[in-house]
Each structure stands twice: as C-alpha cells, then as structure tokens.
Structure 1
Amino acid sequence: MRLIPLIAALSLCAAPAFADDDDEPKFGMAGLLSATNSEDLPPILLSAGQPLADAPLRLKSGTYYEIEIEADGSQELALEGSGFFRAIWIDEIVIEGLEIRPLGLDSVEFDEAGTMEIGFVAIKPGRYELRVPQSRGDLQRLEITIE
C-alpha cells in the first residue's frame, strides 16, 4: 500500500527543527506569544466629571494589549462600547484575582471603587469609542482607532 510512505513523510514534516545534537529548538516564540507583540495601555479612569483618558488610543491589529479600568467610587459608573468590544478578542478580564474569560462583552459597570484589567487582541480595524452611558460631553468618551 501507499499509506506507509505517506505516514512516514508526514511524521518527518511534524518533527521539530533542532539545532545540532543538543535537542534545543532553533526557533523561538512568534506572533501573539512573543514579548514584542504585546503592550500595556494607559489606564482608563472612571470618576464623576473627570476625563476617561488623557488622549485617544491608537491600536495595531494583531497586537495583544492589557488595559486597566480604575473606578474611584465617586459615583456608580459604567463603560459601554459594543462596537469596540466586537472588534477585539478578549483573552481575559481580571478583577481582584478572579480571571474571567468571556465570549463577548457589551459593557462593564462599577458600583464602587475598584480595578479591572482586560487583556485582549485588537482584530478589526476601524474607529470606535468607549463612553459612559447617557453622557453628553467629550470627557466621558474615549476614542479608539485600530489600524
């Protein structure tokens, strides 16, 4: 049968590439696993009457980001941005050591002071925003561009 040569060829293709005889792989991490493909973003501050951030965010599609959302407890505040949350892949949300891995997200809300960290990959290029619901001013809105 011809099946045995095919299996032998496939097993050779699946073997890792090794440098010399020391059984060490000669290739390193790539893509999302590489340290050069991740970035910490400046935090978002949820506080009554204060700006969410100092400047708009510019993200690169395919890059892994971590951002902290901090609420000072001055008021019960939420942050919505369904368009943005659908343009990213959320790896995890961490709240006081609890790790949450959601399939999707529409908004988050803080009833009291606290910090939330979101790890995500920017996917879909475009212009998005996060905003405090029912707010009218630019202070309570954060523009985000994914390139």
Structure 2
Amino acid sequence: MKSILATIGIAALIPALALADGAPRDQWGRAGILSSANKADLPPVTLSSGMPLSEAPWVLTSGTYYEFEIEGDGSAELALEGSEFFRAIWIDEIVVNDLEIRPLGLNSIEFDDAGTMEIGFVAIKPGQYFLRIPGSTGETQRLDITIE
C-alpha cells in the first residue's frame, strides 16, 4: 500500500516540479501580452498636406500588442488628435530619433518638421475610435479605429 501511495505522490509531484521555476505557462510565453507571439504591426500613418492619413480603417483586437509608425513629410505643421483612442489603449512606448518615451497618457501628437515616430501599445477597451488632423472635416484626414 505504501508503494502505491508513493507512486501516486510522485506522479502528482512531477507536473508541479516542471512549473517550479515560477515561469508563467500561458499561450504567449514568459513575456505575456508583450511577447512577440502577441504582436502585430499596423500600416503607417502619413502626415502630409492634402494626403490621406491611412489607406484603410484599423480593426484591432483587445489584448493584442500593436506597433505603428507616424511619418511626417514636413509639408505642413500637422498634428493628430484622438484622446478617446489614447485612453482606450495602454501605451508601452513612443520612439522618436531612437529616444524611447514611456508616457502615462497622451492627448495629441504634432509634427513641426519631417520625421518618424513609432508607437507601441496594447489595445484595451473595445469600441469605435479615431485619429484625425485637428479641425479637419475630410474623410481622408481621419483614421477610424475599431477595438473588438
């Protein structure tokens, strides 16, 4: 009887020992939602006088990590606003000229000259959002975003 109980005890202990290093065992690996398995690149947003911001709306999945670039060509001083969108995401970092910024929040972005900015974020709150050039009314000056 003791040998049967010992065998059952060892059989139960083996899976526990395999997890003893404390590493999370989920679908994304050790880095969780920030792992490369949960990352997607979005098409760039273009800030150029008279040009569309993007070719198509974005449809995002809540809990997924995304990266995109904003490319300003310097043709005009242009900004992007979208405070509701920025409150519906968690911004991991903003990279400008190889400088990483880790903000607690964001309301808008402005380009005075030509340049590129990269934003990495996790989509959080499902809903309908947008990024747009402030004061513009044209459809091409607005990027519609859906978080599912």
Identity, in percent, stands at 71
Q: Which amino acid aligns with 2:40?
A: E
Task: Determine if contact 1:17/1:26 at 8 Å carries over to the other structure.
Answer: no
Task: Determine if contact 2:78/2:110 at 8 Å carries over to the other structure.
Answer: yes
Under a length normalisation based on structure 2, what TM-score does the superposition of the two structures give?
A: 0.81
Structural mapping, 1:70-109, within 5 Å: 70-109=71-110
Task: Measure the CA separation in 1 of the matches of 2:107 and 2:46.
Answer: 18
Change (3 A) 1:30 1:16: farther
Tell me how far 1:18 sits from its aligned partner. 5.3
Secondary structure, counterpart of 2:94 in structure 1: strand
Tell me how far 1:36 sits from its aligned partner. 1.8
Residue 54 of structure 1 is matched in structure 2 by 55
Tell me how far 1:29 sits from its aligned partner. 2.6
Matched, 1:130 2:138: no
Q: Which amino acid aligns with 2:52?
A: P
Task: Determine if contact 1:88/1:120 at 8 Å carries over to the other structure.
Answer: yes
Residue 38 of structure 1 is matched in structure 2 by 39
Change (3 A) 1:73 1:36: same
Task: Determine if contact 2:130/2:142 at 8 Å carries over to the other structure.
Answer: yes
Residue 6 of structure 1 is matched in structure 2 by none
Matched, 1:144 2:145: yes
Q: Which amino acid aligns with 2:110?
A: E
Under a length normalisation based on structure 1, what TM-score does the superposition of the two structures give?
A: 0.82
Task: Measure the CA separation in 1 of the matches of 2:86 and 2:67.
Answer: 14
Residue 8 of structure 1 is matched in structure 2 by none
Task: Measure the CA separation in 2 of the matches of 1:29 and 1:74.
Answer: 44
Q: Structure 2 stretches of 5 or more lacking a match?
A: 1-15
Residue 113 of structure 2 is matched in structure 1 by 112
Task: Measure the CA separation in 1 of the matches of 2:122 and 2:24.
Answer: 27
